[in-house]
């Protein structure tokens, strides 16, 4: 592989990291409150509200069920309105965020539902408000599980960012398509796949280690 191609690979890696990291932060900021609301508004939880729960759940499910490549095309006008363009690395952050947020919301919901109801009832009996129960009981108790869920979302975003390259999103996917596929440069394709595998393995390893540490701290 030539020095020029290595430079392109590093540039594409930087674009992928930029897309994925910004998207996972934004998606978590959106998905966290959505997941909390989905949990506490269940009929048997601390703030039951079937209307809010069912409507929000339907929106989350509809977004999650839309394939990323279709979602990316469908929201082009929205993307253009937000960032001024529908092509490029920054533009790809919008659909990446939208596709990850509902996934994270369900991850948060699942993690919060694992919290022992006895702990929640004990907090209620001591007069804790719903906000206090959420912030001081539910989230701390489920933090290690939430970290694992966000790790899965981050890995999914790495894959989605590669698909974004098919529509001019930049990053490693764009490099693999333009050089590895269209120009039949198999060394570029192989290098791109290896980099993606290393990225996923690294993210999973760090996520597992952080989750274990949080779980040990909770138990100690």
User: Measured between alpha carbons, how far is 166 from 174 in angstroms, rounded to an integer?
Assistant: 6
Q: Would you give per-residue pLDDT tens digits along the chain (220 residues)?
A: 567 778 888 899 999 999 999 999 999 999 999 999 999 999 889 999 999 999 999 999 999 888 888 888 899 899 999 988 888 888 899 999 999 999 999 999 999 999 888 899 899 889 889 999 999 999 999 999 999 999 999 999 998 888 887 777 788 888 888 877 777 778 888 888 899 999 999 999 999 999 999 887 666 5
For CA atoms 12, 198, 213, 216, give the dihedral sign.
positive
Distance, first Cα to last Cα, the chain: 51
pLDDT for the residue numbered 159: 87
Q: Which of 67, 140, 148 is nearest to 107 (CA)?
A: 148
pLDDT for the residue numbered 201: 95
Type and span of the H or E element at 180: none
pLDDT for the residue numbered 206: 95
Q: Which of 91, 96, 75, 103 is nearest to 21 (CA)?
A: 96
Q: How many residues does the chain have?
A: 220
pLDDT for the residue numbered 19: 93
- Domains in the chain: ranges and CATH: 3-114+129-219 (1.10.3720.10)
User: Measured between alpha carbons, how far is 105 from 114 in angstroms, rounded to an integer?
Assistant: 15
Inter-CA distances, 104 with 8, 46, 165, 195, Å: 32, 21, 23, 25
User: Measured between alpha carbons, how far is 62 from 193 in angstroms, rounded to an integer?
Assistant: 31
Question: Do the Cβ atoms of 98 and 160 come closer than 8 Å?
Answer: no
Question: Do the Cβ atoms of 45 and 121 come closer than 8 Å?
Answer: no
pLDDT for the residue numbered 44: 86
| Count of Cβ atoms closer than 10 Å to residue 212 Cβ | 13
User: Measured between alpha carbons, how far is 64 from 100 in angstroms, rounded to an integer?
Assistant: 8
């Amino acid at each position: 592989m030539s020095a020029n191609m290595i430079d392109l690979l590093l540039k594409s890696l930087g674009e992928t990291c930029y897309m994925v990291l910004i998207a996972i932060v934004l998606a978590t900021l959106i998905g966290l409150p959505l997941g909390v609301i989905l949990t506490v508004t269940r009929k048997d939880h601390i703030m039951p509200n079937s209307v809010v729960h069912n409507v929000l759940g339907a929106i989350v499910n509809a977004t999650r069920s839309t394939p990323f490549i279709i979602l990316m095309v469908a929201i082009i006008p929205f993307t253009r309105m937000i960032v001024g363009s529908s092509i490029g690395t920054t533009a790809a952050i919008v659909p990446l965020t939208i596709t990850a947020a509902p996934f994270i919301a369900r991850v948060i919901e699942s993690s919060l539902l694992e919290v022992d109801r006895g702990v929640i009832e004990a907090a209620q009996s001591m007069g804790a408000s719903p906000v206090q129960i959420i912030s001081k009981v539910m989230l701390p108790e489920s933090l290690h599980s939430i970290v694992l869920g966000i790790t899965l979302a981050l890995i999914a975003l790495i894959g989605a960012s590669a698909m974004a390259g098919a529509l001019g999103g930049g990053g490693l996917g764009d490099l693999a398509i333009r050089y590895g596929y269209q120009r039949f440069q198999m060394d570029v394709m192989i290098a791109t796949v290896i980099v993606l595998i290393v990225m996923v393995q690294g993210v999973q390893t760090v996520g597992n280690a952080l989750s274990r540490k949080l779980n040990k701290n909770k138990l100690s």
